[in-house]
């Protein structure tokens, strides 16, 4: 949530507020906790909805602006999630971990899946095939498909 966090931080700075001042302004009794949460929001863009509402009110930001910025962030994440990557395999850390690129001569999804299943069976461990920033496929130690996980923006 780069757009949201950047806008809120810029708005705080324009008003000449420090993070401790803002924490007090939105009602934190434990100012250090407020500081940590506000700074985490400014770094990651993630905040509890109640904190986001308090910051919105304190910085006098209208809901339409927040919605517009949140949509821009969603579009940015969606675009990033669809960027092509080189598929690779990940072994669970419990089994020694590590990653391995899928051989470049494998082009079809089916061939890449067969390679991942064979790798899991050969290693006798769970293996995750990272096909893209959105799609992950887990294979059991016997080479069978365990699950397919498809992420969507905002579904962290």
* Mean pLDDT, range 25-36, rounded to an integer: 96
- The pLDDT assigned to 84 comes to 79
Range with lowest mean pLDDT among 59-63, 80-84, 131-135: 80-84
Angle between helix 63-81 and helix 49-58 axes, rounded to 10 deg: 130
Question: How many angstroms separate the CA atoms of 48 and 5, rounded?
Answer: 13
Range with lowest mean pLDDT among 46-55, 84-93, 130-139: 84-93
User: How far is the CA of 115 from the CAs of 15, 86, 112, in angstroms?
Assistant: 57, 14, 5
Specify the pTM. 0.62
pLDDT per position as a tens digit, 91-116 = 876 656 688 999 999 989 999 999 99
Question: How many angstroms separate the CA atoms of 87 and 38, rounded?
Answer: 36
- The pLDDT assigned to 85 comes to 86
- The pLDDT assigned to 96 comes to 63
* Mean pLDDT, range 8-29, rounded to an integer: 97
Helices (H), 15-152: 19-25, 31-44, 49-58, 63-81, 109-123
Beta carbons of 99 and 47 less than 8 angstroms apart = no
Structural domains in the chain, sorted by start: 2-81 (1.10.260), 88-150 (no CATH)
Q: Please say if the pLDDT value at position 70 is more than 70.
A: yes
Average pLDDT value for the chain: 90
Burial of 86 (0-12, 13-18, 19+ CB in 10 A): exposed
Handedness of CA 26, 21, 15, 6 (dihedral sign): negative
């Amino acid at each position: 949530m780069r757009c949201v966090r950047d806008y809120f931080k810029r708005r705080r700075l324009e008003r000449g507020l420090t993070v401790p001042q803002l924490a007090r302004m939105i009602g934190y009794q434990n100012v250090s906790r407020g500081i940590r949460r506000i700074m985490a929001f400014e770094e990651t863009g993630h905040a509890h909805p109640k904190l986001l509402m308090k910051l919105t009110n304190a910085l006098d930001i209208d809901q339409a602006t927040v919605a517009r910025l949140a949509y821009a962030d969603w579009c940015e994440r969606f675009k990033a999630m669809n960027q092509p990557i080189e598929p690779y395999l990940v072994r669970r850390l419990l089994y020694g971990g590590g990653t391995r690129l899928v051989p470049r001569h494998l082009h079809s999804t089916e061939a890449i899946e067969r390679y991942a299943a064979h790798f899991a069976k050969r290693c006798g461990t769970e293996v995750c095939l990272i096909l893209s920033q959105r799609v992950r496929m887990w294979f059991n130690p016997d080479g069978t498909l365990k699950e397919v996980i498809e992420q969507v923006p905002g579904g962290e």
